[in-house]
Structure 1
């Protein structure tokens, strides 16, 4: 007879004294308590192409493809999927998709056991998220090739790819995974305000990642100090000019009031966001409204702040030029029209935002025949009041 509560208690024992690689044997040990023959935690790789058993899983090192397996379907949809007596439950840390919990049951589960397994999957996701910084098992599982130092620096600075709260959702993608150096994004929720920023640093490699790190952390410092958008721009601009004279960073610095739908932003030499209402593109926002960060001293006037009143369900897509300037083998740019068509089609198909971003970055990589010429980053902001 299943004893789901005992399984939960044993897994909770991992909270205080465990390494990430202790989770797979613990899952195997509690399998019988939930009427299972095996339980496997599958982690998504950095490319978001395959799901891999967490390092330490006994006797299983096979990938489950995201695009053509039931495990992948659970990941893509963030919903439980079943085949015969095997359940695939999404591992969600908040709205962030970490992977999938694969549960091989001895018999068909009743409704109570299904609910219990959802709780256990949530607990496993929390354990992975909290334990991942105490060892390298999660990182080693997610990496399918060596990561360059510049990319290591950037990934260690970034927040989770997906966040949802306060009637808003933010999700982002970053490519190439193992060699990125100049792009970054950030967000935060403070009270009714969602803060979002996207950065595109000139150059590549270690020098670019160092400049990006400065811009990103100066942005956080300004935000946490309570500065408004204009003073945040000035602070980042000042520090870049002082530490890296002659260099610059294009950026979007934005905030969304989730009570009113008021979106305010500074476009510092950056492409305009793509704004969709349902699946219909709206008029482009003015850009730029300020010089790139690091060059602001070249004009006397302050940065311009654009305001836009969103309607419930509106979507904003922020992107770096690595998206629209991706080139096909014959030199044709991916372009804004193709980006707008892609997002429109995904909206019509009701693709979840995080999955839309995963598909977008794979589309860009495929468009450039697997060899990106520049960092490509995009982020979606959706306002979804109840």
Structure 2
């Protein structure tokens, strides 16, 4: 496929434009409708040979001119940057996003990587999708057609992993040539990264290109997240080892691992991810309030997963009916008594954060005391009084405090703070939170859980659950 020199293409396109009868404004409107993103002034400067345009933008100008020439004479004369034969399909950001939406409609999950790659070609980019494995240690490449074989990449030791850790776009000079790595997001939840390869004459530092890649990654992330709820094709590729039925049940009951509004960001996780037996967390965000909860039914009973799932469902149901912390506590206790005859115990913490002023109300039911880490690295245990588990005694005490902007609130289980090394040393949860609190909440959770796993050599004696929230006051 031969390429046309940029200046020669510009000269011919400008000559063809002169024969269209269009004003510059009319041409710009047609070009903009195709997904063009330079201004009318920049378009005029390009046609006059004063400024260059990227190849994608040149081809959209040519396509806009050709559409008009077809209307008036039935003949296309403006050349594209490559010899395309009869392939005059519009290219550029709009074409890529529309193509992605059209291709994903009713597609099975395992076809999405190929559909995303096809959308990338509308930007003259080669795209490969990598999703994070369940252990959050590797980025797994997904097949998207012949000749796209890749190897998993370590999150801690690759440019792709750095893009994932920082939820950003990173350039890299690699043996196969320069490329971009951009994070795949579903809202604030990180799913993986896109590998973006371009021709040698493409400027990977071009802000417009990076913006287009972020748009593509954002839409791809939403489509992938939705597709994973409809089939197992992608999930199967991310299992690096077998997962217990109990772990699968609990994982399906959890909310997304991260979410945010303009006032608060939350993130959570559990370990051991392939064998969690009785721990779950939950949250709900609104314009005014963040509700947070964590539950722990232990690992020592065969019905722990059912017990903690019942507690989670009862709390959600009460919360969705607009009931407060006390009623949520009552609903959990009643559900446990009704379904398990009063012999099931669940420890946990319920919390309610008012986003306007940072007022925090929480209720403990045998759970671990919440921790608050201030922006000045001052750590506080907001309540140390132990209360009976849900449904096992008098109602828990509701306590109120006030967070400061930037404070990090952590709800956790005893299995995390009590994780022990071979010599019996306990995991220093507070210190680990302090060390990693400078990251975005999803990365803080990942790093803390990885550190706990390393500390006890994956030998958790209790399920490790962590849910954090960072509040920031409105300007």
TM-score by length of 1: 0.93
The answer to which structure, 1 or 2, has the higher relative contact order (CA under 8 A, 6+ apart) is: 1
CA distance in 1, matches of 2:423, 2:386: 34
1:269 matched to 2:358? no
Q: Are residues 1:316 and 2:409 paired?
A: yes
Of 207, 217, 221 in structure 2, the residue corresponding to residue 111 of structure 1 is: 207
Q: What per-residue deviation string (whole Å, max 9, x for no partner) do you get for residues 278-321 of structure 1?
A: 1433442224464201313xx3xx32101011111111111101
Root-mean-square deviation (Å): 1.7
Structure 2 match to 1:280: 377
Uncovered stretches (5+) of structure 2, i.e. residues with no partner? 1-54, 57-91
1:331-346 equivalences under 5 Å are: 331-334=424-427, 338-346=428-436
Cα separation, 1, equivalents of 2:256 and 2:344 = 28
| 1:183 corresponds to 2:183 | no
Paired position in structure 1 for 2:64: none
Query: Which whole-Å deviations, capped at 9, do the CAs of 1:303-346 have from their partners, x for residues lacking one?
Result: 21010111111111111011111111112222xxx222222222
8 Å CA contact 2:153, 2:161 repeated in 1? yes
1:35 equivalenced with 2:128 (yes/no):
no
- Offset of residue 31 of structure 1: 3.6
Question: Which residue of 1 is the match for residue 442 of structure 2?
Answer: 354
Residues in 2 aligned to 1:199 and 1:291: alpha-carbon distance in whole angstroms: 13
Aligned equivalents of 2:198 and 2:302: distance in 1?
48
Q: Look up the SS of the partner of 1:34 in the other structure.
A: coil
Quick one: structure 1 residues 264 and 47, their matched pair in 2 at CA, closer, same or farther if it must change by over 3 Å? same
Stretch deviating more after TM superposition (27-36 or 353-362): 27-36
- Measured in 2, the distance between the counterparts of 1:163 and 1:116 equals 23
CA distance in 2 between counterparts of 1:49 and 1:104 reads 24
Q: Distance in 2 between matches of 1:29 and 1:166?
A: 34
The yes-or-no answer on 1:20 pairing with 2:109 is yes
Tell me, yes or no, if the aligned pair for 1:166 and 1:192 is still in contact at 8 Å: no
CA distance in 2 between partners of 1:282 and 1:361 (Å):
19
Q: CA deviation at 1:56?
A: 5.1
CA displacement at 1:54 relative to structure 2: 2.7
Hey, what's the Cα distance between the residues in 1 that align with 2:101 and 2:306? Answer: 39
Q: Distance in 1 between matches of 2:214 and 2:144?
A: 23
Q: Do the aligned residues in 2 keep the contact of 1:55 with 1:141 (CA within 8 Å)?
A: no
Q: What's the CA shift string for 1:113-172, capped at 9, x where partnerless?
A: 221111111111111012112211221122111210100110000001111114011111
Moved over 4 A (4+): 55-58
> How many residues are aligned here?
376
Distance in 2 between residues matched to 1:166 and 1:205, nearest whole Å: 41
Q: Which of structures 1 and 2 has the bigger CA Rg? A: 2
Q: Residue in 1 aligned with 2:132? A: 44
* Residue in structure 2 matched with residue 11 of structure 1 by the alignment: 100
Tell me by how many angstroms 1:373 deviates: 2.0
Q: What do the CA deviations read for 1:55-95 (whole angstroms, capped 9, x no partner)?
A: 55544251011001010000000010011430111111111
Distance 1:163 1:30 in 2: 27
Residues 149, 206 of structure 1: 8 Å contact kept: no
For structure 1, the residue ranges without an aligned partner over 5 or more in a row are none
**SS across alignment from 1:22:** helix
- Paired with 2:302 and 2:220, the residues of 1 have a C-alpha distance of 35
Structure in which a larger fraction of residues adopt strand: 1
